[in-house]
Amino acid sequence: MIRDHFRVLVVDLSSGQKSIAAIDGRDKVAGGSGLAAMLFEKYGFLDRPWNDPGQPLIFAIGPLTGYFPLMSKTVCAFKSPYHDQYAESHGGGRSALSLRFADFDGLVITGRAKSGSALIVGSRHIEIKDIHYLWGTDLHVAGKTLRRMFPGAGHRTILRIGPAGERQSPMACITADTYRHFGRLGGGGVMGSKNLKSIMIHGDASFPLPEGGEYVKVFEKVHADMTSTDMMSKYHNLGTPGNVKGLNDIKSLPIRNLQATADPAVAGISGERFAEVALLRNAACAGCPVGCIHIGFQRERFQEENRYIYRQIAYDFELIFAVGSMLGIMDCFEVLKLINVAEKMGLDVISPGVALAWATEALAKGIITTKETIVPLDFGNSSVYADALQHLAYGTNEFYQFLSSGTLKAAEHYGGGDFACVLGQEMSGYATGKVFFVSQALGLRHSHLDAGGYSYDQKHEDKNVEKAVEFLVRDEQGRVLLTSMVACLFARAVYKDELLANCLNSLGYTTLADNMDQVAQHIQKLRWRTRLATGFDPAAVKIPKRFTEITTWKGNIDKKYLNNLKKEYAKRILALGKEEKKE
């Protein structure tokens, strides 16, 4: 529904109270990232810990969701179990469209249910249902049961957590409709702390499309750009796994805990290899004609007499890097096996992969022993990693409890911080150089998608601190506008400012369309203000020594330049947060 305010459902799991709030601010924060930060200011507590029952778990969509393709992400915001500060995580699947057709721009969940529960949301029906009997089930069992319990395939999204989330692990994700995730910074742990196994949103309302020819004209233009030009074909074709070969070729692929940045053996896990032997089909988030989700298969013999079962497992570059090259696993079916274990447990795949790579090196160096790791972690041995992922999910012993709180937490206790591949959180798969390292280490989400540092590294050889930092600040600003519209960032080449303004105008959001620059600046500052107010100090961020020991296509890492970049970017972030305070 097109409206100039936000319609937000607020549910308190402790009391069972539900209310619908009409909240102003559409022309200031648009939706998505901006709306989530605004809702955290309204409902969150800066000074209480992340697992205080009063803290909100927030989901927000944007003004174009349901009307234009690839406006298909939902922004999830919370105080993170990973660092106890404000955090954002983005997920797709059917989540955004379901929320749109349940007629809500946002969902705020506070409180803690008495026992394992599901929150069911529709346009005419809201219920908190006791499903304690599903507590303890893995993602596959929970998904299968929930799908049977709540019919409505195609119109509903089922968000759920696994054992890692129930244990409130900072590495637990929220899975959306099997193949998409609110992956990083522990959103699954927040659901666990609320005794919330699942959120089911049923998009059961319908709306008329805008009248007049303008909307149809703009829609056709967007759709044609997405489907009949080659702008999006790289995402459909090999998809992001195409990056494996590309990064390896320029010595920028993290391998075996970043002890190397290139290895000919990665041919066994390249996008081309996956497509050749393991790709079954492509899938897409609801409302997306691109279909970048690549689904492979894992085949397993379960009886002597040639009886097999097979599972469908989605893969993308980040997952291949985390449980592939980072762990020295160079066979695509072994990678799929590890992705499957991590997902079944409800773990974000990236952080555990990177954490286990550190643990493997720590074991080899004698910093820890198999008394801690239980299994003999060894680069290239997928069977031991399959076991270790389960230990990490369940927190089997003190070591795995430390490690699942973050590699640096484990390193603080056992030593080995120099070779922890942590940039704010466990690194993304780009060892492209200094600008990326600073961008992820200080970025608000500690994600490679906060700003295109990885791309800047590949295009610039100069060492101009002001220019690089200006790029990071401006690029982040453009991206927060898109994530406030909840655009999939793969569509950033299509949704340029002019087209975005046309989309907004065609739905009647004219003030927003006329002020996109100011809105983007405001959202950027608002998010930084919120993050800083929950304790983030960008000036105190350290980049571990390992990142200065590598060689990329540009040669060795210039430590002085890295430090200057970090200092200058920290200053700019602090200034952004403070400017907003003055407003």
- Give the alpha-carbon dihedral of 278, 284, 285, 288, to 10 degrees: 150
Which residue lies nearer to ligand SF4 by CB, 190 or 232?
232
Residue 292 engages ligand SF4 in binding (rule: CB under 6 A): yes
Question: In the stretch 293-312, what mask flags binding to ligand SF4 with x, by CB under 6 A?
Answer: x-------------------
Which residue lies nearer to ligand SF4 by CB, 313 or 357?
313
First to last CA, the chain: 31
Q: How far is the CB of 213 from ligand SF4 (least distance, A)?
A: 27
Residue 92 engages ligand SF4 in binding (rule: CB under 6 A): yes
Q: What is the enclosing helix (H) or strand (E) of 456? A: helix 453-459
* Among 457, 448, 377, 447, residue whose Cα is nearest residue 410: 377
Q: What letters, b where the CB count within 10 A reaches 16 and e where it falls short, cover 389-426?
A: bbbbbbbeeebbbbbbbbbbbbbeebebbebbbbbbbb
Tokens of residue 183, six digits: 């992956």
Report the residue from 13, 70, 222, 441 that binds ligand SF4 according to the rule CB under 6 A: 70
* Among 182, 253, 549, 179, residue whose Cα is nearest residue 427: 253
Residue 290 engages ligand SF4 in binding (rule: CB under 6 A): yes
CA distances from 572 to 351, 449, 520, 566, 568 (A): 28, 18, 16, 10, 6
Residues touching ligand SF4, count (CB under 6 A): 13
Q: How far is the CB of 291 from ligand SF4 (least distance, A)?
A: 6
28-36, 289-297, 388-396, 397-405 -> range binding ligand SF4 (CB under 6 A)? 289-297
Residue 468 backbone class (left: φ over 0; alpha: ψ -120 to 50; beta: rest):
alpha
Q: How far is the CB of 284 from ligand SF4 (least distance, A)?
A: 4
Q: What is the enclosing helix (H) or strand (E) of 473? A: helix 465-484
Sign of the dihedral through C-alpha 498, 504, 507, 512:
negative
43-51, 192-200, 287-295, 443-451 -> range binding ligand SF4 (CB under 6 A)? 287-295
Which residue lies nearer to ligand SF4 by CB, 91 or 433?
91
Which residue lies nearer to ligand SF4 by CB, 31 or 111?
31
CA distances from 459 to 124, 337, 432, 470, 486 (A): 52, 35, 10, 15, 27
Which residue lies nearer to ligand SF4 by CB, 266 or 292?
292
Report the residue from 8, 109, 278, 288 that binds ligand SF4 according to the rule CB under 6 A: 288
Which residue lies nearer to ligand SF4 by CB, 68 or 528?
68
Question: In the stretch 401-440, what mask flags binding to ligand SF4 with x, by CB under 6 A?
Answer: ----------------------------------------
Q: Report the alpha-carbon distance of residue 351 to residue 370 in Å, rounded.
A: 21
Residue 175 engages ligand SF4 in binding (rule: CB under 6 A): no
How deeply is 123 buried, as exposed, middle or buried, from its count of CB atoms within 10 A (0-12, 13-18, 19+)? middle
Report the residue from 210, 291, 417, 508 that binds ligand SF4 according to the rule CB under 6 A: 291
Which residue lies nearer to ligand SF4 by CB, 284 or 444?
284
DSSP letter assigned to residue 376: -
Q: How far is the CB of 271 from ligand SF4 (least distance, A)?
A: 15
CA distances from 56 to 43, 78, 90, 468, 531 (A): 6, 6, 16, 36, 15
Residue 58 engages ligand SF4 in binding (rule: CB under 6 A): no
Q: How far is the CB of 89 from ligand SF4 (least distance, A)?
A: 14
Site for ligand SF4 in 99-158 (CB under 6 A): none
Are the C-beta atoms of 219 and 68 separated by less than 8 Å? yes
Which residue lies nearer to ligand SF4 by CB, 9 or 284?
284
115-123, 283-291, 354-362, 507-515 -> range binding ligand SF4 (CB under 6 A)? 283-291
How deeply is 103 buried, as exposed, middle or buried, from its count of CB atoms within 10 A (0-12, 13-18, 19+)? buried
Q: What letters, b where the CB count within 10 A reaches 16 and e where it falls short, cover 259-273?
A: bbbbbeebebbbbeb
Report the residue from 68, 215, 235, 274 that binds ligand SF4 according to the rule CB under 6 A: 235
50-58, 186-194, 211-219, 281-289 -> range binding ligand SF4 (CB under 6 A)? 281-289
Residue 284 engages ligand SF4 in binding (rule: CB under 6 A): yes
Which residue lies nearer to ligand SF4 by CB, 37 or 285?
285
Token look-up 């070969």 returns: 245
Which residue lies nearer to ligand SF4 by CB, 89 or 530?
89
CA distances from 309 to 301, 306, 383, 448, 582 (A): 7, 10, 19, 36, 61
What residues contact residue 47 under an 8 Å CB cut-off, 6+ apart? none
Which residue lies nearer to ligand SF4 by CB, 290 or 465?
290
Rounded to the nearest 5°, which phi and psi values hold at 309?
A: -115, 155
Which residue lies nearer to ligand SF4 by CB, 293 or 403?
293
* Among 410, 395, 403, residue whose Cα is nearest residue 345: 395
Q: How far is the CB of 494 from ligand SF4 (least distance, A)?
A: 11
Residue 97 engages ligand SF4 in binding (rule: CB under 6 A): no
Q: How far is the CB of 293 from ligand SF4 (least distance, A)?
A: 5
Question: In the stretch 475-494, what mask flags binding to ligand SF4 with x, by CB under 6 A?
Answer: -------------x-x----
Question: In the stretch 501-540, what mask flags binding to ligand SF4 with x, by CB under 6 A?
Answer: ----------------------------------------
Which residue lies nearer to ligand SF4 by CB, 490 or 547?
490
Q: Report the alpha-carbon distance of residue 428 to residue 437 in Å, rounded.
A: 10
Tokens of residue 334, six digits: 């072994």
Q: Which residues bind to ligand SF4, rule: CB under 6 A?
A: 70, 72, 92, 235, 284-285, 288, 290-293, 488, 490
